[in-house]
């Protein structure tokens, strides 16, 4: 199978693809004979598909595939795959890193020390934080990443709530140690809310101004999903007011970050670090290559989304 790619993906699994042609993005000339396209964080739309008349497979590198026009691919008989699973643990770890950073004010403490403001051998009153252990954690979306977060929360003895379109069975709830709540009720009850839903039309601005207002004073919102899941303008207003806190790894117009956030002490900002581990990136390549090889053998790829 002839594979077209704008880059080499990390890890030894990539070398298992024997017929790879590279191109400089964006593609501007027709490429006949290319049967598979491997892509990361690039739009795959009708204009691109028109340049690839023999395309049969779009192998997306990453769990989120919102930039791929799945309907356009389906209409042309093109299979789309993604790489879930490999992102679960690293994204869950980052979510907890942001929770800890915000609640224990570690970023503020770092700045405090670097500025030479540490005036005694004891932590100053202005850097007093809040517990993570024992706090009420609300998980919005309980797929692979959300479940990984729930498992980690056990070690912190947190009370874990979750909101999901379809409620789990009592057995699954008991196994994970989670309790179901309607989304609005979860937002009102949780000390920390962490978002783990995909970007779809249904989840766009899922946490809007009305729902942000439901968060209790001092609550922490963590977003390692997608920026569009939250009404970013409304979130900025809440953070500027100082009423709530946040740990944000994703934004609506990346790499643009609202300037109002830069000087705020109640928000920790990260540049989309969810899968920024060599091991995670190589694992994602392994899944991507397995999808391509399975398709080439005439099998349905395990991670087909069409």
> Model confidence over 228-282: pLDDT tens digits?
999 999 999 999 999 999 999 999 999 999 999 999 999 999 999 999 999 999 9
Residues recorded for the chain: 306
Residues 139 and 235 in one domain: yes
Name the active-site residue from 157, 254, 260, 299: 254
pLDDT of 122 > 90? The answer is no
Specify the range with the lowest mean pLDDT, choosing from 30-39, 91-100, 125-134, 217-226: 125-134
Yes or no: say if 185 and 130 are a contact pair by the CB < 8 Å rule. no
Active site residue 260: no
Name the active-site residue from 2, 31, 151, 272: 272
Instruction: Order across the sheet with 267-269: list the strands.
Output: 178-180, 159-163, 136-140, 192-195, 220-223, 245-248, 267-269
pLDDT of 126 > 70? The answer is yes
Number of domains within the chain:
2
Residue 149 lies in a domain: yes
The whole-angstrom separation of Cα 195 and Cα 169 is 21
Active site residue 226: yes
Percent of the chain exceeding pLDDT 70 equals: 100
Name, in order, each residue with C-beta under 8 angstroms of 262's C-beta and a sequence gap of 6 or more: 269
Residues 35 and 138 in one domain: no
Going by pLDDT thresholds of 50, 70 and 90, the confidence category of residue 98 is very high
Residues 35 and 102 in one domain: no
Q: What is the CATH number for 43? A: 3.40.50.720
Tell which phi-psi region holds residue 85, choosing left (phi > 0), alpha (psi between -120 and 50) or beta. Answer: left
Yes or no: say if 111 and 84 are a contact pair by the CB < 8 Å rule. no
Domain of 66? 3-84+277-296
Residue 141 lies in a domain: yes
Work out the mean pLDDT of the chain and round it to a whole number: 96
pTM of the model: 0.94
Residues 184 and 49 in one domain: no
Yes or no: say if 90 and 275 are a contact pair by the CB < 8 Å rule. yes
Going by pLDDT thresholds of 50, 70 and 90, the confidence category of residue 124 is confident
Q: What is the pLDDT at residue 181?
A: 98
Active site residue 196: no
Name the active-site residue from 105, 147, 152, 226: 226
The whole-angstrom separation of Cα 139 and Cα 162 is 5
Q: What is the pLDDT at residue 123?
A: 66
């Amino acid at each position: 199978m002839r594979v077209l790619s704008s880059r080499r993906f990390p890890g030894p699994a990539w070398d298992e693809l024997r017929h790879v042609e590279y191109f400089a993005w964006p593609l501007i000339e027709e490429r006949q004979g290319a049967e598979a396209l491997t892509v990361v964080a690039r739009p795959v739309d009708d204009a691109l598909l028109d340049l690839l008349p023999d395309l049969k497979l779009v192998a997306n590198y990453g769990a989120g595939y919102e930039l791929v026009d799945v309907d356009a691919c389906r209409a042309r008989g093109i299979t789309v795959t993604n790489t879930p699973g490999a992102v679960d643990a690293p994204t869950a770890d980052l979510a907890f890193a942001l929770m800890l950073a915000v609640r224990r004010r570690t970023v503020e403490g770092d700045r405090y020390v670097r500025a030479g403001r540490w005036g005694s051998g004891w932590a100053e009153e202005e850097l007093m934080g809040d517990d993570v252990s024992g706090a009420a954690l609300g998980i919005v979306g309980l797929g692979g990443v959300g479940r990984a977060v729930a498992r980690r929360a056990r070690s912190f003895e947190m009370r874990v709530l979750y909101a999901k379109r379809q409620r789990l069975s009592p057995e699954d709830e008991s196994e994970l140690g989670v309790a179901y709540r309607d989304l609005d009720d979860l937002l009102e009850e949780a000390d920390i809310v962490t978002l783990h839903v995909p970007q779809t039309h249904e989840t766009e601005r899922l946490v809007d101004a009305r729902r942000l207002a439901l968060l209790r004073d001092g609550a922490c919102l963590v977003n390692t999903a997608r920026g569009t899941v939250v009404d970013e303008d409304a979130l900025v207003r809440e953070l500027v007011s100082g009423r709530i806190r946040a740990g944000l790894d994703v934004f609506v117009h990346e790499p643009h970050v609202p300037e109002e956030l830069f000087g705020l002490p109640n928000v920790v900002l990260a540049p989309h670090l969810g899968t920024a581990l060599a091991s995670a990136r190589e694992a994602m390549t392994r899944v991507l290559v397995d999808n391509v090889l399975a398709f080439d053998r005439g099998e349905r790829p395990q991670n087909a989304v069409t």
